[in-house]
Structure 1
Amino acid sequence: MTTTGSPAPHITVAVDGSVHADQALRWAAAEAAARGLALRIVHAWLPMPTPGSRAAGRAESRKILDEAEVRARAYAPDVPVTTAEIADLVGSALAVESATAALLVLGSRGRGGFRSLLLGSNSLTAASIARCPVVVVREALPREDPGRIRDVVVGIDEKNAADDVLAFAFAEAAAHPAARLRVVHGWTMGASALAGGPVFDEDAVEAAVTRALAEVVAGWAEKYPQVEILRVTAHTQAAEALVEASADARLTIVGRRTGGTSLGLRLGPVAHAVLTHAHGPVAVVPY
């Protein structure tokens, strides 16, 4: 087993020996290969007060990491792999890891999760507080089909588009040449009052939203001319539009506001809904 302190630009994936963690590991290894980054595999465990318990916990942690390293090297033979044991609460460990990682990858649930839960507490916490983008890999991953285009999907608000979210989305699409970037905006009449008051002409609202969406991505399209862009305006709630789009996406991307005075988890309703109900991997990008 290899351990590191301050690794080079890398993707960090958290493992705990569960099936969900292995799905995250496979996704993270493939992403590291596509982006030309190293892969850092971490396992957090909380030492117990007795020496025997600490020794057993450390041995279990090493076993989990050793097995994960073997699988990672099989998934992506050319990717540099390091591992690290972290003696801390999972949430605290992931918060620290997010300060140096380019991307933090987690399974949707861990070994201790209840099967009835759609999203584990550690995944939710990391997505809410991490300093880097977090990818939560949900359930079984679809097998890659060379003849099928799997889009990168990003949800944006045309009135408040975040550069960090768009930068991540375009870079992700560029790292996967076969993927298109599908920019999705869900709108309703109540949420799309334009220019001085409510507008009740649906066609006018959709046309205005479409124009605004085109303006938002125009500069990024010039920066990434190799990325094919699909702009989608859906007459529905944003979360519903993104969950539907996630069904055939390789990754669905949402943003998360940082800062503010709230002491709770800083995850908006759209991001929370997409994390909970999406059909595939979801990235939460802080901005």
Structure 2
Amino acid sequence: MTTEPPVIAAVDGSSHSLEALDWAAHEAVRRGLALVVVHARTPMPHAVRETQRREAEELLTLCVRRVSRVAPDLHPTTLTPMDYPSAAVTSLSRDASLVVVGSRGLGGFRSLLLGSDSMAIASMAKCPVVVVHGEPPEESRQETSSDIVVGVAADESSEDVLAFAFATAASRPGARLRIVHGWTMVSSMLSGGPVFDRDAAAGAAERTLAELTAGWREKYPQVEVVRESVGGSASRALVTASATAALTVVGRRRGGESLGLGLSPVAQTTLGHALGPVAVVPC
């Protein structure tokens, strides 16, 4: 293990959070990091706190045993903060390399695509957050590849997003990194590019993508890279790619949390509709 901050897996006993725990354990091994399993206990009346504490201990014992089966060489530690889950995990994220959560918890309505705690943590955490979706419906299930898919935009800093995506791909031998840049005639106009010539706009988008990714191949020569400039909805391209990707990576505006602007429309749509794990990286 390194001295770098650990991977945090947030659990509540739901099937989604246990799938997220498995994903976090595998990722901690790949990155050579420690694993901390966190179960936040929402503040309750004093009369039920002992029962709450006992249930938390039972859940964390179950989680440690589960990790020992998934990753026998990993020896996780556990935490049971007395706080609301999103607040507790967001606070702990200050000293984490990665936070992993399930897409929905025990309190989520089955009709919801993404639970409120998962959305809040992805919007406010100080480190990258991976939201692990449950198994997709059988009719939507496709064979998963080892591709890491990352969406980059011309109007925001993509350095941190690309750094996370390349490091993730490098930790998975044989993984291919697909870098997706979605563009429209409107986005071309807003960025000062061609307005009426679609071919010229496509060429400008490809040049933008080349500029955004310049230098990364030299830093990670072992990673196979595919650049995709997509005319149309970036979120649609990422959701489609997520059906077969090992991980889909999107950015999040750093510093916009207090205004409710942490997640861009592309990030929100990708998180809500993806068919596989999604990483949200502060950028």
Contact 2:194 2:200 in 1 (8 A): no
Say which structure is richer in helix. 2
Percent identity between the two aligned chains? 55
Structure 1's 127 and 43: CA in aligned 2 closer, same or farther, altered over 3 A? same
Distance 1:148 1:133, change over 3 A: closer
TM-aligned CA deviation for residue 154 of structure 1? 0.5
Gaps of 5+ in 1: 1-6
Which of 5, 16, 39 is the matching residue for 1:20?
16
Aligned length, in residue pairs: 276
User: Would the alpha carbon gap of residues 163 and 273 (structure 1) be closer, same or farther in structure 2, given more than 3 Å must change?
Assistant: same
| Residue 43 (structure 1) aligns with | 39
**Is 1:113–2:103 an aligned residue pair?**
no
The answer (yes or no) to whether the contact 1:23–1:141 under 8 Å persists in 2 is no
> In 1, Cα distance between the equivalents of 2:205 and 2:278?
24
Contact 2:253–2:261 (CA under 8 A) maintained in structure 1: no
Aligned to 1:58: 53
Alignment of 1:190-269 (within 5 A): 190-193=186-189, 196=192, 198-260=194-256, 262-264=258-260, 266-269=262-265
State the match for 2:273 in structure 1.
Answer: 277
Of the candidates 82, 91, 103, which is equivalent to residue 77 of structure 2?
A: 82
CA deviations over 1:131-174 (Å, ceiling 9, x no partner): 000000011289xxxx9742101000135342111110100000
Q: Which residue of 173, 176, 180 corresponds with 1:180? A: 176
Q: 1: CA distance between counterparts of 2:30 and 2:192?
A: 46
Q: Using the alignment, how far apart are the partners of 1:46 and 1:211 within structure 2? A: 50
**Displacement after TM superposition at 1:208 (Å):** 1.8
The yes-or-no answer on 1:33 pairing with 2:56 is no
- Whole-Å Cα distance in 2 between the matches of residues 258 and 8 of structure 1? 22
User: What is the SS of the residue equivalent to 1:221?
Assistant: helix
- Judge conservation of contact 2:144–2:244 (CA < 8 Å) in 1: no
Partners in 2 of 1:194 and 1:211 — Cα distance?
A: 16
Distance 2:160 2:166 in 1: 10
Which amino acid letter does the alignment assign opposite residue 161 of structure 2?
Answer: V
CA contact (8 A) 2:43 2:84 kept: no
Post-superposition offset of 1:195: 7.7
Deviations, residues 90-133 of structure 1 (Å, cap 9, x unaligned)? 11101111011100000000011100100000000000000000
Find the counterpart in structure 2 of residue 168 from structure 1.
164
Q: Deviations over 1:183-227 (max 9, x none)?
A: 001111121138856432222221221122122112111111111
RMSD: 2.0
SS at 1:193's partner residue?
Answer: helix
What is the alpha-carbon distance in structure 2 between the residues aligned to residue 197 and residue 281 of structure 1?
34
**TM-score (normalizing by structure 2):** 0.92
Quote the residue 1:99 is aligned against. 94
| Corresponding residue of 2:120 | 125
Distance across 1 between alignment mates of 2:193 and 2:71:
54
Cα 1:189–1:14 shift into 2, 3 Å? same
Checking the alignment, whether the CA contact within 8 Å between 1:26 and 1:72 is kept in structure 2 is yes
Quick one: distance in 2 between partners of 1:195 and 1:57? 53
In structure 1, distance between residues paired with 2:46 and 2:185: 61
How far, CA to CA, are the matches of 1:260 and 1:132 in structure 2? 14
2-structure distance, mates of 1:92, 1:197:
42
Alignment partners' CA distance in 2, 1:49 and 1:58: 12
Which position in structure 1 is the counterpart of 2:129? 134
Decide whether the 8 Å contact of 1:149 with 1:180 is kept in 2. no
- SS of the aligned residue for 1:168 comes to helix
